[in-house]
Structure 1
Amino acid sequence: MVKREGGESLAVTVYGQVRSAILDRGEFTPGQRLKPADLTSQYGVSLSVIREALGLLAAKGLVRIERNRGFRVTPLSCETLNDLTEARVINECAALRLSVQHGDVAWESQVLAAHHRLASEPLFLPGDPPTRNARWAAAHIEFHHALIAACDNAVLLDICEHLADSAELYRAWSAAGTREVQRDVAGEHRGLLDAALTRDANLAAERLAAHITRTRQILLEFGFPHVDAEPAASAAR
């Protein structure tokens, strides 16, 4: 049963729980249909709360609303992954260059603190199989946001935030693939930190582009998940 916590609405609470089920635990896989009636029983809330939570997830790109077909976890596709990767490289690298140029001591402290929080969390929690650490995922988003926070362009920051939301499902499945390819994610983040703090905008942008592109490479090597019961659900749109 979902309970109200402080001033937080039930829909926001359910949003967080379903988000974690998709990204951290893999309970709902890309392309899988989400039936509101089933979710009302699972989370112990009304149908209107479930629909509001699914709308919040859709706004973050994690759920797709299909006319006359209901809701499903957003499918993964090579086409969308390539488009997202290209858009992120263009926009996030531009934002990082500006941030390195304009950032002050307060920005440096923010980046250092964000990296410290990220480095203190393991990527996976122990288990069989291990699960993605939600605290690491939140710290990861915070670190990347801190890197570009000083770009002094609100429109560019909004674009980057939207792209990051859209890419979160891909990052989650890419993280699962790191167990196969032994990716040095921590080393990549240290490289980004060093380049940013030494004010080498070109090197920082180069490392960020490689970091973003590596996620695409891993997913293509690792393979996209699919729903056996509904094989067409994960087809490229």
Structure 2
Amino acid sequence: MNTRPRAAATPDGLDLRGSTTLTIDLTKPVRQEPAKVEQSGGRDVVERLRSDIVSSVFEPETRLKFADMTKRYDVGIGTLREGLSQLVSEGFVTLEAGKGFRVAPVSGEELIEITEHFIELEKRAITDAIAHGDDDWESHIVSSHHRLNIIEKLSWPERIERHSEWVQRHREFHESLVAACRGKWLFKLRSLMFNQLDRYRFVTKMAPQGLGKEKFEEHRQIMLAALDRDAEKASALIEHHIRDTSERARTML
């Protein structure tokens, strides 16, 4: 009787009796996990969708059709649906039973409400940032204002041509002012409100009164107040800056 022990099989049932060498072909690419690809694609499509809505690529109340959107963003329906659902929770998109997703409408009443919330959040954030900001925080404010001012000192036609750059640099400047704020949720909430206000600001992008020189001087004054560590003055300047800009946008809705 043969009493030699039998070789164990692999978990998938492959009998390795008599096998001495396992060969791995390292020339073949390693397959990336689908879940990770989907998660990465989901984050990307949310950011791109939000940006397109904020910048009025999709105007208020526009129906967002899956057939068009999957081609535009090169993602599957599942990923697109998840992204749109997140933007519903942020207030940029609405979902109606039997009608699908649409870009959220705009109104003067909503703009007033968003403005009031943002002012309170921004004042609290810059007060905390001024109390705890270091030299790097100050340097970031100066450099971001310099980048913003490069565009703001151009002629009106040149500023219009570089409006998308101005929007990004304007955001970077305002974020630099509150970057030293320690409240994580405070920062998240003010960022959400900033995105909502940016959407309304795009209404004024082609109007001379929407990008006036006096608004650019306000940026400089806010920067100086922050660098002087004058929280009360910085808060007052920011409140006027935000409220005035929102009022201009409201009259044009």
Deviation at 1:60, TM superposition (A): 4.5
1:212 matched to which residue of 2?
242
Distance 2:135 2:49 in 1: 38
Deviation at 1:79, TM superposition (A): 1.7
1:133 aligns with 2:166: no
Q: Which of 151, 158, 170 is 2:200 aligned to?
A: 170
- Residue 180 to residue 48, structure 1, CA distance change in 2 (3 Å): same
Distance 2:79 2:184 in 1: 32
2:111·2:250 contact (CA, 8 Å) conserved in 1?
no
Deviation at 1:210, TM superposition (A): 0.7
Distance 1:199 1:62 in 2: 35
1:89 matched to which residue of 2?
119
Where structure 1 has 5 or more consecutive residues not aligned to the other structure, the ranges are 1-6, 225-237
Deviation at 1:104, TM superposition (A): 1.9
Q: Which of 200, 218, 224 is 2:230 aligned to?
A: 200
2:132 matched to which residue of 1?
102
2:29 matched to which residue of 1?
none
2:101 aligned counterpart, secondary structure = strand
Deviation at 1:197, TM superposition (A): 0.7
Distance 2:237 2:251 in 1: 21
Bigger radius of gyration among the two: 2
Relative to the length of structure 2, the TM-score reads 0.71
- Residue 167 to residue 58, structure 1, CA distance change in 2 (3 Å): farther
Indicate the percent of aligned positions where both proteins have the same amino acid. 34
1:55 aligns with 2:85: yes
2:121·2:189 contact (CA, 8 Å) conserved in 1?
yes
2:173 matched to which residue of 1?
143
1:124·1:132 contact (CA, 8 Å) conserved in 2?
no
1:144 aligned counterpart, secondary structure = helix
2:251 aligned counterpart, secondary structure = helix
1:156-167 matched pairs, under 5 angstroms:
156-167=186-197
Equivalent AA in structure 2 for residue 51 of structure 1: R
1:151 aligned counterpart, secondary structure = coil
Deviation at 1:108, TM superposition (A): 0.6
2:53 matched to which residue of 1?
22
2:182 aligned counterpart, secondary structure = coil
2:65 matched to which residue of 1?
35
> Higher relative contact order at CA 8 Å, sep ≥6: structure 1 or structure 2?
1
1:183 aligns with 2:212: yes
Runs (4 or more) in structure 1 with deviation over 6 Å come to 123-127
Relative to the length of structure 1, the TM-score reads 0.75
- Residue 58 to residue 124, structure 1, CA distance change in 2 (3 Å): farther
1:62·1:169 contact (CA, 8 Å) conserved in 2?
no
1:33 aligned counterpart, secondary structure = coil
RMSD (Å) for aligned C-alpha atoms? 3.0
